[in-house]
Structure 1
């Protein structure tokens, strides 16, 4: 597939002709309107083929019907060609042409906007039957990039609202579905024409369900420096409060647009703009950050260079670089830094500079704080400290955290978010507006995004110390949570997954679950067992199944009656389930109101909620005499009533716990942990077995673990064995998405030039969708001291697992999987095999193996790296070539691993 392209770690060096994919007739030359100012341009005329059906978030699995015919790239434009499709009149899709709209050609850039729509589909009637799922579809578009002159052009390609595309022979999956514009691919284009094929996927979560079912995508080329450059202007830096930076940690995002890997060796202050600046004073001290180490204010007192562990940015990679900085007491208005770097295998040093204006605010205003996300990069939140005039009870020496979770597409520093609670300035709480890392909160406030929430909460004590705060302290284990839209859904997530931390919750206009928001209709057909595995992979986000977890927690719901974005049904439905579960809740539907209005977060009932619940002195965790709770993923789930589930027997199914005093009944639970208040009793009864607790109370406050052995419960258990890769625990739990629980930058390992493109693409997607940091390396790992999770990109033999008897093996002879039922082994040795699976590393780390029998198959496996929510990746997947058009039905095997890394009974082998 990459036969005619020279693959580089920087991206792809594309020749002027790509014969293997240029056998069709492109548009006439007169339609190739060149750029009079730049040396490159997009063609004006584009060829389009579609529409074809696609289900919600199904594109990750392939499900492209044209792959049955060899793929869009092998099809020639012809007005006589007909293609079977379930959507258009007569079941026939045809080629058409369109002109790029609003084409912008300026010096150093070129832009093309493609409006795509289909009038030969009865969208209204389909929507009556299938709802919003009916206005999701896919198509393909083909155009050209024209490079004039005699020089190779070094460019980045922005792909707004696009998930998948080809440039010549180079395949890219991931694109920029939400138009983040953070990590575009770097291309080195030789003079001539370069074919570009774009897969168009209309997704309601990204495009909307109310508007006309059109697709509007934007392609833009921009010149690069051909070396290290700023991926975006300025720094991610905290605001200045009372003359001090609110937080010492900052970062700059750099892109290597050259063709050799570079190493950052130093960052130093270079200039300060200030009317009172004294040039002889060193206003800034810098220390580079590595891995997930938290940098304290004291560490910023000495300047270091980074000759020993300098961060390497491979050619084509975009990477955030974190460092600490402190200001003097002078009235500094902006900062300026010089970044020194060199080629990895060279000695010549070069520099670039970055400047950032500083924002000065009061301690009591919402202001930006920064901190290290566990993934090793800098994130931010907006913090409002308790007001001077807050009327707090004398007993409230430590105040709770009031979380406000924003909706999709918003930044936390947007005034709509950060000032949403200005109408209630007197609250006895630390008001925190997390970002969730990205405007879409990473992954809908779930794994990566919620980790960011907890990191932001944990950073408040550091803020108190750093700025010299003299007011009330913070209790980081007591939360009042509210949020709007996607943030309302995030509030449901917090309520159902961290119940022992929540004083109360107020979801506003939030949806119940991904599947309820846009139904999973119109996927390619699959057998029920495959369907059940995909559904089981999303169990943790199906909040309607987790309402028992809200017992004992006050809940206030609010929703606009005329909401045409998130149907009011969601809140009504969950209100009913809360009532049936015995939860103390109230529901407020706002007559005539839509999805959003300026004071939606400060209506009368919301103000009353904030004031009452932030003043609550109820003890957490609550000591409930009777309660139930449901666990989908122990890796996502905190404790409820002092009980935490550590492992499920079958992770593809829900686990359930019923507590009546000291009598516990479980279903699908393998091990759990009891907090100390259970030790006050002489014994407990679990699943009919009485277990003595005599003498345990004297052992201090450490929780006790109960585990099953041969179907019977006992204190302790193998789950507690630290450092033993045979047993699955902690951050390793949680399906393929568990790889996102990295502690430090991701480590992406590949084999060399034939796997470099995929490795770079994985790193690009992780940064694009999560702002994540990744270290890319090739060859045998030489440093095992890194703390991050590993992604291995492999063709051929996969190195042995740390687990002594791991059930999946992949190599030149294919893939074999040992089934849990009977211990038999199933082998797959057909051509074009792909596999993606997690396996254990030391210290609760994970390795995600991406394996292919060839380069095309490896590219297919890489699609499954967690990126978009709702895809439903289980622990392991083996794909045949037919998955490219059949989707999940083309998976030869998929399923889950249990607590001993055995294939679970609910898997398909």
Structure 2
């Protein structure tokens, strides 16, 4: 994720992706004989369901896309930044050895500085030398992070600039398609050549480069450069131009969304007290449930504040998660008055769309208007049925993925993903019109 921060890495009994690790169970089940499956209580119908090829819907693909920053194999060429030493037990049955062998095969196709060692007879833990392995530390000692002046070739990929944006002196600020892989490939020999994929705004800090560079070749276009300084390049209608420094009100490395991003930056939870007794109790308990979950899973203490006690000036530049809607949370107008999404009892407005009923629930994130860095997350519903639908807090579970907006109805309790009405991302200016949404 931050490849220029390491000279070398060494996964020990490692796996590249949580989903791939979980998928190992499916692979092992598929390799069992019918008799073995029967012994484990896996019926033919269960086996068919476990191993069937599933084709996700466009809405499901949008939700899945929010997890791109964690899909390590999509970012695999970032490993070119450093040496890699893979250590794994020969008969590890917790993180199956085939995962390490797969990594060896993948690295072998493009990487020239990696070592693979499979410890004979080693399980998942075979003593302190499972990690305290001298050859690894010898490997580390022989490698250093190159200085900017020595970087002549550079490849970098990211799933979101809000997670990882920079390698050495090049920064990806904005994407053309949010939460898809964005990348650049730099060649700096006789010319400064930079090729990009899924990038709409980037920055090059030429002050880190000792030689004078008169022009850059960006995706094949020659662009003369001004004085030696930090230069921003924006793609407009497919054409790259030098642009001014982007406003912090736009998306960028400082604040790029994905609903889970709301739960950082010393977040505070603000719960509704202006609804009915049932609504007030529910939103308070929901905020407390999330805070307790965060404490249990992440050892973090989150402050809970009643809407009537919340003043933005008392919590400068801190993220806020609002529990409630415009009808029952007194802090809504302080934080979300100009949001393109407005939620009331029995109705929600999604830009120029209106949805009626008490059965809608929604999670979304928008920038905090009085801050250049903080965000506002919202856990909201249009009524009692929608509140029940919004009760699960899977957004605090590792491995789950949430885009900027997730809209669903109460059928989610029995149907799951098929009850999601809309999922997607705001545009780089945090507006709906330039966003990327899928509706069902």
Q: What is the TM-score when the length of structure 2 is the normalising length?
A: 0.81
Pair 906,779 (structure 1): closer, same or farther in 2 beyond 3 Å: closer
1:562 to 73, 91, 99: 91
Q: Is the 8 A contact 1:731 1:738 kept in 2?
A: no
1:687 to 215, 219, 222: 219
Q: Is the 8 A contact 2:359 2:382 kept in 1?
A: yes
User: Where do 1:159-308 residues align within 5 Å?
Assistant: none
User: Where do 1:432-471 residues align within 5 Å?
Assistant: none
Q: Is the 8 A contact 2:361 2:390 kept in 1?
A: yes
Q: How many Å apart are 1:618 and its aligned residue?
A: 4.8
How many angstroms apart in 1 are the aligned matches of 2:135 and 2:54? 49
Match of 1:658? 185
How many angstroms apart in 2 are the aligned matches of 1:668 and 1:570? 29
Q: Is the 8 A contact 2:359 2:384 kept in 1?
A: no
**Equivalences, count:** 395
Higher relative contact order (CA 8 A, sep 6+): 2
Match of 1:34? none
Whether 2:165 is the aligned partner of 1:649: answer: no
Match of 1:246? none
How many angstroms apart in 1 are the aligned matches of 2:148 and 2:136? 20
Whether 2:425 is the aligned partner of 1:893: answer: no
Query: Secondary structure, in 3 states, of the residue corresponding to 1:907?
Result: strand
How many angstroms apart in 2 are the aligned matches of 1:729 and 1:634? 6
How many angstroms apart in 2 are the aligned matches of 1:621 and 1:863? 47
Looking at CA atoms only, which structure, 1 or 2, has the larger radius of gyration?
Answer: 1
- Cα offsets for 1:325-362 (capped at 9, x unmatched): xxxxxxxxxxxxxxxxxxxxxxxxxxxxxxxxxxxxxx
Decide which moves more: 773-782 or 514-523.
514-523
Match of 1:832? 359
RMSD: 2.8
1:599 to 128, 144, 147: 128
How many angstroms apart in 2 are the aligned matches of 1:730 and 1:575? 32
User: Where do 1:715-734 residues align within 5 Å?
Assistant: 715-717=242-244, 719=246, 721-722=247-248, 724=249, 727-734=250-257
User: Where do 1:262-411 residues align within 5 Å?
Assistant: none
Match of 1:529? 58
Q: How many Å apart are 1:615 and its aligned residue?
A: 5.6
Q: Is the 8 A contact 1:750 1:759 kept in 2?
A: no
How many angstroms apart in 2 are the aligned matches of 1:836 and 1:878? 7
Q: Is the 8 A contact 2:267 2:320 kept in 1?
A: no
Whether 2:149 is the aligned partner of 1:626: answer: no
Q: How many Å apart are 1:843 and its aligned residue?
A: 2.7
How many angstroms apart in 2 are the aligned matches of 1:639 and 1:583? 23
Pair 734,882 (structure 1): closer, same or farther in 2 beyond 3 Å: same
Match of 2:320? 790
Pair 784,583 (structure 1): closer, same or farther in 2 beyond 3 Å: farther
Query: Secondary structure, in 3 states, of the residue corresponding to 2:353?
Result: strand
Q: How many Å apart are 1:894 and its aligned residue?
A: 0.9
Q: How many Å apart are 1:677 and its aligned residue?
A: 3.6
Match of 1:501? 5
Q: Is the 8 A contact 2:193 2:217 kept in 1?
A: yes
Q: How many Å apart are 1:608 and its aligned residue?
A: 2.8
Match of 1:740? 263
Match of 1:883? 412
How many angstroms apart in 2 are the aligned matches of 1:789 and 1:524? 40
How many angstroms apart in 2 are the aligned matches of 1:874 and 1:814? 22
Match of 2:17? 513
Instruction: Identify unmatched segments of 5+ residues in structure 1.
Output: 1-496, 819-824
Q: How many Å apart are 1:538 and its aligned residue?
A: 1.3
How many angstroms apart in 1 are the aligned matches of 2:136 and 2:53? 45
How many angstroms apart in 1 are the aligned matches of 2:122 and 2:398? 29
Q: How many Å apart are 1:796 and its aligned residue?
A: 5.0
- Cα offsets for 1:229-259 (capped at 9, x unmatched): xxxxxxxxxxxxxxxxxxxxxxxxxxxxxxx
Pair 712,862 (structure 1): closer, same or farther in 2 beyond 3 Å: farther
Match of 2:277? none
- Cα offsets for 1:451-505 (capped at 9, x unmatched): xxxxxxxxxxxxxxxxxxxxxxxxxxxxxxxxxxxxxxxxxxxxxx111110111
Q: What is the TM-score when the length of structure 1 is the normalising length?
A: 0.41
- Cα offsets for 1:782-806 (capped at 9, x unmatched): 2423132101011453735868964
How many angstroms apart in 2 are the aligned matches of 1:618 and 1:512? 22
Query: Secondary structure, in 3 states, of the residue corresponding to 1:544?
Result: helix
Query: Secondary structure, in 3 states, of the residue corresponding to 1:646?
Result: strand
How many angstroms apart in 1 are the aligned matches of 2:175 and 2:144? 34
How many angstroms apart in 1 are the aligned matches of 2:53 and 2:262? 27
Pair 762,516 (structure 1): closer, same or farther in 2 beyond 3 Å: same
Whether 2:114 is the aligned partner of 1:585: answer: yes
User: Where do 1:751-790 residues align within 5 Å?
Assistant: 751=273, 753-754=280-281, 755-780=283-308, 781-786=310-315, 787-790=317-320
How many angstroms apart in 2 are the aligned matches of 1:599 and 1:553? 25
Q: Is the 8 A contact 2:348 2:382 kept in 1?
A: no
Q: How many Å apart are 1:746 and its aligned residue?
A: 2.5
Query: Secondary structure, in 3 states, of the residue corresponding to 2:313?
Result: coil
Instruction: Identify unmatched segments of 5+ residues in structure 2.
Output: 27-48, 275-279
Q: How many Å apart are 1:559 and its aligned residue?
A: 0.7
Pair 502,514 (structure 1): closer, same or farther in 2 beyond 3 Å: same
Pair 693,796 (structure 1): closer, same or farther in 2 beyond 3 Å: closer
How many angstroms apart in 1 are the aligned matches of 2:422 and 2:127? 50
2:238 to 702, 711, 735: 711
Whose helix proportion is higher, 1 or 2? Answer: 2
Pair 531,865 (structure 1): closer, same or farther in 2 beyond 3 Å: closer
Query: Secondary structure, in 3 states, of the residue corresponding to 2:234?
Result: strand
Q: Is the 8 A contact 2:290 2:393 kept in 1?
A: no
1:575 to 104, 108, 111: 104
Pair 864,621 (structure 1): closer, same or farther in 2 beyond 3 Å: farther
Query: Secondary structure, in 3 states, of the residue corresponding to 1:508?
Result: coil
How many angstroms apart in 2 are the aligned matches of 1:897 and 1:728? 9
How many angstroms apart in 2 are the aligned matches of 1:571 and 1:560? 9
Q: How many Å apart are 1:837 and its aligned residue?
A: 0.2
Q: Is the 8 A contact 1:500 1:621 kept in 2?
A: no
Q: Is the 8 A contact 2:361 2:408 kept in 1?
A: yes
Q: Is the 8 A contact 1:836 1:878 kept in 2?
A: yes
